[in-house]
Structure 1
Amino acid sequence: MSTVDLQIYNDKVVCGKHKKEVCSECNQSFIEINDLTRHLKSTNGQVPPPGAVLPLRSQQIAKMREDGNTHFRAQRHQEAIAAYTNAINIAFDRPLWEPSQLAREELAVLLCNRSAAYIARKEWVDAYVDAQGVIELKRPWSKGHFRLGKALIGMGRIAEAIEALNLGLMFDPEATEIQKALKEAETGLEAEEDE
């Protein structure tokens, strides 16, 4: 067993020799230790039992998501994106002892909503990236595949959009919004082939 030379520098655990949080020369990373330390400091010594959820964080996320939804319904898409982004940042920062499934569910919904706002603004690449995140977090949820399909249509990648939408229909064969988008994509592909 080898020993690791470390020290506290600028309130972080770092490589003792090079004073780096991630030191390629010593082949060490102290990111996880520093994350845990940051979360433990935020509790002021009152660490909750495993699986406990801090209600204030959940309330903040829910409030920002609802603010985003309100902006989206009013077609203030940039404001919706900002609200969803704030909620995503808070969800990403959940303490390590909280159930990871909770963060996954929150993030899937928030990324899906932000993808919709990006689609409304025709910001296809950002919509695509968020939709991919939704699928990574919650693969069987048809909404993620729908958002991915819409983003791909916007990017002109019609064959890939059809594939994404068909996959979404496998998870929810009755999804009318996916069926409609699939018809739109197939019509676009036929038009491309006729040219």
Structure 2
Amino acid sequence: MSAVVDLQIHNDKIVCAQHKNEVCSECNQSFVEINDMTRHLKSNNGQVPAPGAVLPLRTQQITKMREDGNVHFRAQRHQEAIAAYTNAINVAFDRPLWEPTGPARKELAVLLCNRSAAYIARKEWVDALVDAEGVIELEHTWSKGHFRLGRALFGLERMAEGIEALKLGLMCDPDSAEIQKALKEAEATLTAGDE
């Protein structure tokens, strides 16, 4: 049986009346989801879109930021690329709860993969690893995520784990020339180190 908790609105958020917390460990309650839903409804003038509707303006914003990141990446302005991808990721994470999750997962996977590549270019291996793991969590069978993970692991001098990541990537896409090349190079490096 759940306990009854007195609610209060404080700074436009629902909180427990007793402790004034949106997430209250003492009352064992979280009002984050209802506050998110309220915020999204307010931004949409209280209109709930049809099931599966995607807000086109948000998609356009994310696409523009991703494209800006790609331009920076190609120009080797990797820090600017990271900033653009991060902004796009933040907007993508803030999609309303009623939007379908499938397209959002793919969108986030691409953004994280791109940011991972920018981190790799800057030799920021841990950040590249975290993003690559996020890609794999979102899109298990996308070989690009496994490729990024392998590259990040090589940067961290975890060669055997990197090779395993590339092998998983090849299982997802046996024709990937990019992964095949990286795997050959890594295995040659590992063999040379054993001699």
Matches within 5 A, 1:73-152: 73-152=74-153
Code of the residue aligned with 1:104 in structure 2: it is R
Give the distance between the partners of 2:16 and 2:190, measured in 1 at CA: 55
Q: Which residue of 1 aligns with 2:32?
A: 31
Task: Quote the Cα distance in structure 2 between the aligned partners of 1:107 and 1:80.
Answer: 15
Shift of 1:9: 1.3
Inter-partner Cα distance in structure 2 for 1:191 and 1:128: 25
Q: 1:46: how far off?
A: 2.4
Aligned to 1:168: 169
- Distance in 2, matches of 1:191 and 1:13, equals 61
Q: Provide the residue aligned with 2:190 in structure 1.
A: 189
CA distance, structure 2, for counterparts of residue 162 and residue 27 of structure 1: 44
State the one-letter code of the partner of 2:97: L
The residue type paired with residue 157 of structure 1 is R
Deviations 1:136-185 (A, max 9, x none): 00000000000000000011000100110000000001101111111122
CA RMSD of aligned residues (A): 1.0
TM-score, structure 1 normalization: 0.96
Give the 5 Å matches for 1:10-21. 10-21=11-22
User: Distance between the aligned counterparts of 1:172 and 1:190, measured in 2?
Assistant: 25
149-158 or 21-30, larger mean C-alpha shift: 21-30
Q: Which amino acid aligns with 1:183?
A: K
1:93-146 Cα deviation digits (max 9, x unpaired): 111111111210110000001101111111111110000000000000000000
> Aligned equivalents of 1:23 and 1:119: distance in 2?
39
**Structure 2 residue matching 1:46: 3-state secondary structure:** coil
Q: CA deviation at 1:44?
A: 1.2
CA distance in 2: counterparts of 1:11 and 1:193, whole angstroms: 62
The number of aligned residues is 194
Q: Give the 3-state SS of the residue equivalent to 1:7 in structure 2.
A: strand
Q: For 1:190 and 1:21, locate their aligned partners in 2 and report how far apart those are by CA, in whole Å.
A: 55
For the residue of structure 2 that corresponds to 1:53, the secondary structure is coil
Q: CA deviation at 1:26?
A: 1.1
* Runs of at least 5 residues in structure 1 that lack an aligned partner in the other structure: none
Matched residues in 1 for 2:158 and 2:143: separation? Answer: 19
Identity of aligned residues (%): 79
The alpha carbon displacement at 1:54 in A equals: 1.0
* 1-structure distance, mates of 2:79, 2:192: 33
Secondary structure, aligned partner of 1:145: helix
**Residue aligned with 1:3, SS:** coil
Question: Which AA in structure 2 matches 1:77?
Answer: H
Structure 2 Cα separation of the partners of residues 26 and 54 of structure 1 = 35
Bigger mean CA deviation after superposition, 125-134 or 36-45:
36-45
Offset at residue 192 of structure 1 (A): 2.9
Q: TM-score, normalised by structure 2?
A: 0.96
Q: CA deviation at 1:70?
A: 1.0
Instruction: Give the residue type in structure 2 aligned to 1:78.
Output: Q
